[in-house]
Amino acid sequence: MTQLSPKAAGTLAVWLQDPSVDENTKAELRALENDPQELEERFYRDLEFGTGGLRGVIGAGSNRINRYTVGRATQGFAKYILEQHSGEGRPSVVIAHDSRRFSPEFTLEAALVLAGNGIETHLFPSLRSTPQLSFSVRHLKATGGVVITASHNPPEYNGYKVYNAQGGQLVPDEAEKVISYILQVDSFDAVKRLSQEEAEQQGLLHWLGEEADEAFTDTVAAVSVAREEIKASLGRDFKIVYTPLHGTGNQPVRRVLEKIGFSQVYVVPEQEQPDSEFSTVKSPNPEEREAFTLAIKLGEELNADLLIGTDPDADRMGAVVRDNEGKFVVLSGNQSGALMIHYYLSRLQEQGKLPSNGAVVKTIVTSEMGAAVAAHYGAAVFNTLTGFKYIGEKMTQFEHSGDYTFLFGYEESYGYLAGNYARDKDAVLAAMLIAEAGAYYKAQGKTLYDVLQELYEQFGYFLESLESRTLKGKDGVAQIQGIMNDWRSNPPQEIVGSAVTEVLDYSLGLSGLPKENVLKYLLADGSWFCLRPSGTEPKIKVYFAVRGESLENARDKVAALSQQVMARVDGN
């Protein structure tokens, strides 16, 4: 134990001596006494509560997610909820969870701690999607929400995301209050907790039923702009292969597609059921082509028109379409976003329902192509920091001021929302919109790939790419910070023969946005690249965007830009 840092050694001792820590947890820690490096990783810090909540590797320790770190976070969140509640009766929180390891256990732990603080909880009896949680907070007029998920992270992770009364993830000023309250919880004895029996007897724990699912399905389906056409004819001949990637999307996606009239929806059987190991994929991430291997196989067998995949908590959607040679290609998040904006806004315009004060909201690392399409239809375009919580915040601002009508929000990482029913990205909604767009254009003799080429010809050949480097553990945190410090203090003057015309350092709080450790470099030829440490994984992400004279030219430009920037990143 002498090799541990003072912080790690002291915190480990507290865990081993605390009578409120169960013996199984203590045994797990004692079994690591000959592995000081692992103990250091588990105890060198407390698992950080970021602006979205907790996310970490499952296991015993202060830098791991477990019932104790979940309980401590919930005790802090409870104080925030009690502070926010101003109406009659008790404050309330809705809780949902996905298919990950210990998700049901962490859900119940959060509910019982909230109950210990006199806060009512509404729990789903089994796994539900993150967007349904966001919707349900609003629908039930709750004071807040919690979802237990680690999104598309590897199987060893889980997470704890918290939501405000608007159904959005906490933004920085809200999160800072919760963090301050968590830091006041200096021992596990300070965590108030009821038993399940006590919570139910006192009316503090309620289980949600089918009506909650029906309300969500009906609300999502109401956003459709082709429901009658899909039901009448378009949905009969359009074949969809869908994979929930072992997550929560299976039932809600199928329910919504059926409700609006799609009759040929085929689910990848190997990936249909919940599986905390995500055993058929390296990563349950619809951003990666490999996640669609089984879907593509089934799609070829069925001669499907469209393949759809959703991540474990069903807030991200990926689409695979046929190119002009009939081969399946995975659309990027930016491409899917541009297609959906074009389809949705053009149909609203045709139907005379496009408001004059419409707005589209995207993030600073999302393609400008969607912005160009939105502007074509007269919509204002707003940029936010990365994270759908900021898009949700904009939506609430529009709702309160009435200055703009929210139409569509999206981010390059496969997150989309239309309609005003939630404050988080919704893969169920996105699956519906991309499917009805595909069916609508098929009736015109076009594929979604054909429509994408038309958008390129009309608005320009925008192309983007993303590189990331995973740097785990204590050393990884330092490496990532070192990379950011190097680029911040020594900005390049020129990249791939194009002058750097502007450096945007978002840690300074630019354009009225919250401060965030992000650097964006604008080039004279209209290209840009951006360095951003991930808030949910031990990664640094580097985004690249160009506008070419042709698709081939754009591919060459983005490849050259990526190669030169990453050579410096990797050399740090």
To the nearest 5 percent, what fractions of the chain are helix, strand and coil?
45, 20, 35
**Residue with structure tokens 């300070």?**
190
Type of residue found at 141: K
What residues contact residue 209 under an 8 Å CB cut-off, 6+ apart?
A: none
Long-range contacts of 527-531 (CB under 8 A, 24+ apart): 527/496, 527/498, 527/557, 527/561, 529/495, 529/561, 529/562, 529/565, 530/364, 530/365, 531/483, 531/484, 531/487, 531/569
Residues 256 and 131: beta-carbon distance below 8 Å: no
**Residue with structure tokens 């019982």?**
112
Alpha-helical runs (H) found in 408-472: 427-442, 448-459
What residues contact residue 74 under an 8 Å CB cut-off, 6+ apart?
A: 109, 110, 113, 114, 146, 191
| Catalytic site residue from 99, 129, 136, 151 | 151
Residue (of 307, 306, 537, 523) closest to 413 by Cα position = 537
CA distance 540 to 483: 9
**465 is an active site residue:** no
HEC assignment per residue over 353-376: CCCCCEEEEEECCCCCHHHHHHHH
**Residue with structure tokens 């405000």?**
164
CA distance 96 to 336: 27
Q: Which residues are catalytic?
A: 151
